[in-house]
A and B are shown apart, each in its own frame.
Chain A
């Protein structure tokens, strides 16, 4: 058993729902008890979908357990077929459904429905949402595209000389973080390169579309968490190479263009030369100087977290102080990236562990999921969301991709907006005693709703400045006047100042921190 307060991922059948709900003409019959229908509201409320997810739940109850739940499943599947007339169906069980061992796949086959019925067996007590989405997509691709696979060992015929190259876009699902807009952005980028999109899947694809995935020359994998497994199978079966670069950030987008051009056998020089994005100039403009070395903590799915770390470090000039993911399946990617930034990777799905690390690292900006938004809010640290799990505000009305050049523009705005602007930061530092600059002042452009954590607390009633016991075992105490001086530093950098000073005191064997220690430490750690 695992004690869980909040979870980053839902159960695997919710991943299957994300695939089914993203697609058209597919229906999911799920052997599940009453109550599992809650998952519908993720799509209708968080994503504001205008249709119910294409899911029929058998909703068995305790009374049915003594009777014939298998019959209940068959009736539900039969009725769903007649009512919704899907092109294909997936069948499976939720966590409780799997315990009663009714074999939805076998039961559905016995119905002899005149459509493909794909069984998705999702081990609910081992796996989670993203894995469920990946497995479902893979099973669907295998079942629907498999019949048109070339003979094993057959060489892929060369593209006709006059044909434009074609690719599939793989990975976007319902309830994905900005998948809706990423597809638009990347499709238009590919169009500019002269590459056609054969099928985008799962989002927007029908089962018939999946059947013709093999017609493309290669695959573009936008979200490896969901499409990685299917793309590997397509490579083995159809000889379709797939992209490895995720086009999030300016550099990554340029590399993505080069990678795609190589796979398509075209020249991308013109497109690269003509490409325009504001991020590099905005980042170079002097106003952005204050972004230099801002301490940033990053957590999310591995793909978005790794991409965010690269942008933060290389394109905005931040300092990555923490990097982690909740997707254990992608731990390797995070460990490699963490090495690059010299930080310990945090691979966990325990929300409290993430919170503890954010509190300890005291970053100046948190880039995370909906969960980190709450952590950051509580700790009074600015935050931007970069990854699922998401909430209703992460489905903005405006066009807001993360990928491609427009994605980079969006990212610049989204990450910089929560921060205090350069001169404002200085004024706060200089005139801290101005009555309107009271402790916990927030960026003036954000308004009163953005309260800081220790707003209203004076130095005397703030948390006791005491007892940071380092490895040496010596507790460091703050002299009263030094403590008072510490509180003249604006709250959003005070944590860093305190930590540095205490570390400095410890390293120098000082037991009491005086005003002089504070400034010695300041000089020592001066950037």
Chain B
């Protein structure tokens, strides 16, 4: 549990930055949490967690409010007898899936989602998915992935989910290059990007995940894809295995990130520079103007990011370059050096990066540094506020549309609001 700072380097071709790698208690969600937004994104999919009461309790607690009539997720809670024999567990799973599909005939895609207990007892969900697919084909497609905490951290659950969709994607019909945007985005953000790509003459652009499972994008050697989220390592690998090419880019957070992200696609699709400038300029100007107010509120403020969603590095880049905040420490649950290479180049050379965490030691450093703003999870936020430290809950950064030009100021506002609020309250 002792922290050890390693002089580990981040690949030869990018500026080496020292990364502190810690081990110890990690105050993060597991990958099952992604179900909270994925089940809304893919509208005909159902997520069945095969796990324990803890898994069920986690998802409903992370969802916070139980607003959905009958959500498109559920847990098959394993009981003592399921642990005793795997044959029985498989029979039980078949029974539950049959029961579920009978009750939800509208479902076209069912994910069997592995959990810590199902992984530890080695319940083979990929075989179960195959077996059940044969039974329910062609009405319902059944896939599986693991959202277990022993293998995935928070947003990696989305990665595992999307990676499981890739083999199911159809081959491309034509030989023309196609742009694929990968990573769940709010519908409104997706629509904005569609309009931008159209204006650039790139299109039709496809999205993974699609809003309906029956509209999976075609994937093949002529697929060029942009990652919209920084946590999609396995999905990218699965796409590359199908011959697709990743377009290296920073992530579409802030004006700078969005522009560079769009430009990566524009360059790959041979869009002329002049056209790119002409199309993006009004958006850039408008977003810049909206950001100005928040820059004056945030410039020079010191921010400390606890690891949560892997969005931390793109966020830190946005906060430091567009809002002129000072980065005290940037924690991330996992640092994918290749996918983040364009981001790492843009961070200040003396940035303090931490991969994984020992939450107690990290809290010690945070308290010692007394930052103006701490970005952290829900378990830490109120305790830090009670100590007089202003916080921004990181989960909101995953549940809010923050990508693209029109959301750049919204993103800045999320960081400004806690500081504004603290300044307003006198009692």
Contacts and interface: CB of A to CB of B under 8 A. Distances in A.
Contact of A123 (B64, B80, B82, B117): B80
Contacts of A370: 66
Interface stretch (B52-60, B248-256, B282-290, B291-299): B52-60
Interface string A37-55: 1111110110011111000
A49 B383 contact: yes
Interface in B63-94: 64-67, 69-71, 74-80, 82-83, 89, 92-93
Interface string A347-378: 00000100000000000000000110010001
Interface residues of A, number: 59
Interface in A16-60: 33-42, 44-45, 48-52, 56-60
Contacts of B80: 123, 125-126
A483 to B, nearest CB: 26
Of the candidates B26, B82, B149, the one having the most CB atoms from chain A within 10 angstroms of its own CB is: B149
B190 to A, nearest CB: 28
B382 A48 contact: yes
Interface residues of B, number: 64
Interface in B242-289: none
Nearest to B387: A50
A124 interface: yes
A7 B53 CA distance: 8
B120 A57 contact: no
B144 to A, nearest CB: 16
A420 B325 CA distance: 54
B30 A125 contact: no
A50 B382 contact: yes
Contacts of A51: 383, 386
A52 B151 contact: no
B77 A2 contact: yes
Interface string B36-58: 00000000000000101110111
A99 B78 CA distance: 12
A387 to B, nearest CB: 16
A1 B382 contact: no
B25 A62 contact: no
A94 interface: yes
Contact of B120 (A49, A83, A96, A125): A96
Contacts of B53: 4, 7, 9-11, 95, 124, 128
B422 to A, nearest CB: 16
Contact of B386 (A37, A50, A61, A378): A50
A85 interface: no
A242 B200 CA distance: 77
Contacts of A65: 120, 150
A2 B79 contact: yes
A31 B151 CA distance: 16
Contact of A4 (B31, B77, B149): B77
Contacts of A94: 54
Given A33-B148, A44-B381, A125-B78, A96 B52 contact: yes
A124 B25 contact: no
Interface string A457-477: 000000000000000000000
Nearest to B57: A10
Contacts of B30: 33-36, 38
A2 B153 CA distance: 26
B404 interface: no
A382 to B, nearest CB: 18
Contacts of B119: 62
Contacts of B151: 61-62
A38 B31 CA distance: 12
A36 B53 CA distance: 11
Interface string B114-137: 001101110000000000000000
A79 interface: yes
B378 A3 contact: no
Interface string A383-398: 0000000010000000
Contact of B117 (A13, A62, A96): A96
Interface string B157-196: 0000000000000000000000000000000000000000
A292 interface: no
A35 B58 contact: yes
B397 interface: no
A48 to B, nearest CB: 6
A37 B76 contact: no
Contacts of A37: 25-29, 379
B327 interface: no
B6 interface: no
Given A10-B57, A99-B120, A44 B382 contact: yes
Interface string A57-85: 11111101100000010011001000100
A46 B249 CA distance: 39
Given A42-B61, A95-B53, A1 B78 contact: yes
Contacts of A41: 61-62, 377-379
B161 to A, nearest CB: 16
Contacts of A100: 120
A78 to B, nearest CB: 8
Nearest to B49: A4
A40 B61 CA distance: 10
Nearest to A96: B116
Interface string B7-35: 00000000000000000111111111100
Nearest to A14: B57
Given A2-B79, A3-B99, A33 B74 contact: no
Contacts of B78: 1, 125
B380 interface: yes
B1 interface: yes
A386 to B, nearest CB: 18
B360 interface: yes
Nearest to B50: A1
A374 B378 contact: no
A371 B66 contact: yes
A58 B82 contact: no
A99 B121 contact: yes
A6 interface: yes
B71 A34 contact: no
A339 to B, nearest CB: 30
A448 interface: no
Contact of B82 (A1, A34, A35, A352): A1
B366 to A, nearest CB: 13
Given A38-B58, A40-B379, A126 B150 contact: no
Contacts of B95: 1
A83 B95 CA distance: 48
B100 interface: yes
Contacts of B383: 44, 49-52
Contacts of A274: none
Given A11-B54, A34-B28, A5 B70 contact: yes
A83 B361 CA distance: 10
A299 to B, nearest CB: 15
A57 B25 contact: yes
A128 B252 CA distance: 44
Given A11-B54, A35-B149, A96-B150, A45 B378 contact: yes
Nearest to A125: B80
B369 interface: no
Contacts of B199: none
18 contacts: A1-B76, A4-B75, A7-B60, A9-B53, A35-B31, A35-B153, A37-B29, A41-B61, A41-B62, A41-B377, A50-B383, A59-B149, A62-B119, A62-B148, A95-B116, A99-B121, A125-B80, A374-B67
Nearest 9 Cβ contacts at the A-B interface? A35-B30, A35-B149, A40-B379, A50-B386, A96-B116, A95-B52, A41-B378, A10-B57, A1-B92
